[in-house]
Amino acid sequence: MIGIKRQQNFAEFDDLQIKQSRIKLEKDDSSKMYLENLSNELFYEIFDYLNSCDIYKAFSNLNIRFQNLIFYSPFSLKINFCTQTKSIIADYCRYLIIPNTHRIISFNLRSESVIDQFFKYCTIDSSFNRLESIILHGLTDRQLLTVLFYLNSLPRLFSLTIDMEDDYYYNLGDTYRLIFSLSKLKYNKMSLFGYEELLIEMPIILNERFSTIEYLIIDYSCTLDQLDTLLRHTPRLCHLRCERLVEPDDNIKQYHSITMSHLIYISIGECQIEFDDFERFFKEISFQLEVLYISISWNISYLDANRWEHIIQKYMPHLKNFHFTYDQYIGDILNTNPNHEFINGFISSFWLERKWFCELKIDRGEMVFLIEPHKKEWSKFYEFTADATYSKHKYIQNNNIITQKKTNNCSIQMTIEDYMLTEQYRSNINKLKPTFSAIRFTHLNINNNNISISMLIEILRLLPNLESLKLSSLSIIQSTTLSVEDTKQYVLVSVMNQITKVKLNKVTEKIQIQFLINLCPRMQYLEVDCMSYTDLEMFMTFILINQITHIPDLYCLCLNVPNANDHMIKTIALTIELETIIDNYKIQRIGNKFFFHWKLMQ
């Protein structure tokens, strides 16, 4: 949007009064700051974040300066009408909107009654020559076509959002034709709730001008035929989001050949069409595609890695980010694919070269399979190369970091968020054993506060290839006495596991950390969320002693400390000096996080 330089246009008398009052205030008490002392430019900046109706209500009767500021200044107005009485809307229209049509850049009308009242007093026409954005909530069909007719006179309308809530048979062809006729429109979102039987009939008219829309959001159930109709009228489209893509009732699947030379982003919230139809349609419009989001439920044909590889290589050669989600009930998916061996098809060189990685999530009885671009959650500490807040001696890069950073092994994460995975429901673990055996999981994320120590050990035993472990809460690590069998498993897991990265939240007791230090003796990176009452000196001493005795490979520690400050760095550095012989280390603070990095002894 083009900025407009703001200029003072108050009477000289007003300026003199303001200056004199400021001088008097400074003499009375120079240490105090008064609202009246703030500059007009600062108020412009503040008003830019506020609803102009609230500004009018709060300041219009305060004094002459604010009246001038509101009514005679060039700053832009943003009108947001929530549920208001008729008299208030009439007052805003009469005294704020109508005299300032040339300053208004956005309207947000949030209900059917508000829209009705607004249009009783105001007509949107070319006098709103700076109006750029309109949001209409709770619109009825009776209001919609009338409003769209008037919007055609706006010279700078870039964004239009429409929410409709009526539930009946409706043809959107006339609506979209009016929307597409808006000559400057770049963004359009249409939300319909309860519409199950929609028509979008828009035959191409000879010499018809195509829409200028670049961002199109379809927030309702749309068939491929309807989507095809919309795309034929929006050749400049670069960003498409469709919340629900469904099969047509009449099974007519005739699509026109469309060239979408600008389309680089597609998001499909719920894709309910057959994979054959998806491929047939999207292969025609996706050659320039760079980002694809797609979510599938139940249709197992979408889990064909080889077919996806063919589609992407042939029809989406520029695709950079692929976000794929597939969900199904655990029992159903285990019946059709008990080992989840399809996942192994998504860890070939094709996927690894593009840094697209797999995750299997267990959440409230559902199994969710995801493919996403590589997350840096575990790689950030390898990039600890910024200037240190505190350091001793010249830091020498650890050889372990270089070696691991160059390694590009396949990465498959298991995430457990299911409250059903507790001792009471141990049978659920037994159902997943074939999956654990068939897939080489490398990362485990447990976001479950109820899982027992015994079950944690059992899961770790079934996942021998883990490189990282993340726990949402240390309440799962309690000082309960293990059975003889659990103790044997605990010792076996600690000897056999290859976990090098551990992330722990909400530490309340040292015994919780000691448990995991003993369980993961090969850890190289440890991240802990400390409590507000944690004694940092004692905690650092505890970790450093364990670094010598139990976790000799640890060379990077991250502590998330509430209300962290730079003074703590000196305290921690002194502790390192007193408790260890480490003489080559860095300390860095980023927000509430302290990063400690040292060179291991040779």
Give pLDDT tens digits for 65-118. 888 888 888 899 999 988 678 899 999 999 999 999 999 999 999 888 899 899
pLDDT per residue as tens digits for the range 224-263: 999 999 999 999 999 999 999 998 766 655 666 678 999 9
Residues 192 and 287 grouped into a single domain: yes
CB neighbour list of residue 389: distance below 8 Å, 6 or more residues apart: 566, 569, 587, 588, 589
Residue 461, pLDDT above cutoff 50: yes
Of 294, 316, 338, the one marking the end of a domain is 316
Helices (H) and strands (E) in the chain, counts: 20, 23
SS3 content of the chain, % helix, strand, coil (to 5): 40, 20, 40
Residues 203 and 298 grouped into a single domain: yes
d(CA 55, CA 47): 7
Residues 199 and 312 grouped into a single domain: yes
Number of domains present in the structure of the chain: 2
Residues 408 and 515 grouped into a single domain: yes
Residue 550, pLDDT above cutoff 80: yes
Instruction: Say if pTM beats, i.e. exceeds, 0.75.
Output: yes
CB neighbour list of residue 323: distance below 8 Å, 6 or more residues apart: 291, 292, 293, 294, 370, 371, 372, 373
Specify if 301 maps to a domain.
Answer: yes
Specify if 54 maps to a domain.
Answer: no
pLDDT per residue as tens digits for the range 422-449: 666 677 777 788 888 888 899 999 988 7
Residue 397, pLDDT above cutoff 60: no
Specify if 152 maps to a domain.
Answer: no
Per-residue model confidence (pLDDT) at position 572: 83
Mean pLDDT of 152-176: 85
Residues 430 and 575 grouped into a single domain: yes
Residues 304 and 400 grouped into a single domain: no
Mean pLDDT of 353-373: 89
Two tokens, residue 195: 């519409």
Residues 412 and 305 grouped into a single domain: no
Per-residue model confidence (pLDDT) at position 3: 38
Residues 393 and 309 grouped into a single domain: no
Torsion of CA 380, 384, 385, 389, to 10 degrees: 130
Specify if 324 maps to a domain.
Answer: no
Q: How many residues does the chain have?
A: 602
CB neighbour list of residue 19: distance below 8 Å, 6 or more residues apart: none
pLDDT per residue as tens digits for the range 33-58: 677 788 888 988 999 999 999 999 98
Are 125 and 151 spatial neighbours (Cβ–Cβ below 8 Å)?
Answer: no
Of 291, 316, 341, the one marking the end of a domain is 316
SS3 244: strand
Specify if 185 maps to a domain.
Answer: yes
Per-residue model confidence (pLDDT) at position 517: 94
d(CA 175, CA 245): 20
Specify if 483 maps to a domain.
Answer: yes
Residue 394, pLDDT above cutoff 90: no
**Cα Dmax for the chain:** 90
Which residues, in sequence order, are bridge partners of residue 526?
Answer: 502, 557
Which burial class, exposed, middle or buried, applies to 170 when counting CB atoms under 10 A from its CB (0-12, 13-18, 19+)?
middle
Residues 302 and 433 grouped into a single domain: no
- On the CB side of 246, CA atoms within 13 Å amount to 14
Full domain range(s) for residue 180? 167-316
Two tokens, residue 19: 């200056």
Residues 310 and 394 grouped into a single domain: no
**Which H or E run includes 280?**
helix 275-282
Specify if 570 maps to a domain.
Answer: yes
Two tokens, residue 87: 């008299």
d(CA 121, CA 123): 7
Residues 453 and 545 grouped into a single domain: yes
Confidence tier at 8 by pLDDT (50, 70, 90): very low
Of 273, 293, 316, the one marking the end of a domain is 316
Specify if 536 maps to a domain.
Answer: yes
Classify residue 315 by its DSSP letter. H
SS3 289: coil
Which of 105-114, 182-191, 340-349 holds the top average pLDDT? 182-191
Two tokens, residue 600: 């291991």
Residues 309 and 411 grouped into a single domain: no
Cα 26 vs. chain centroid, distance in angstroms?
47
Of residues 72, 80, 73, the one with CA closest to residue 49: 80
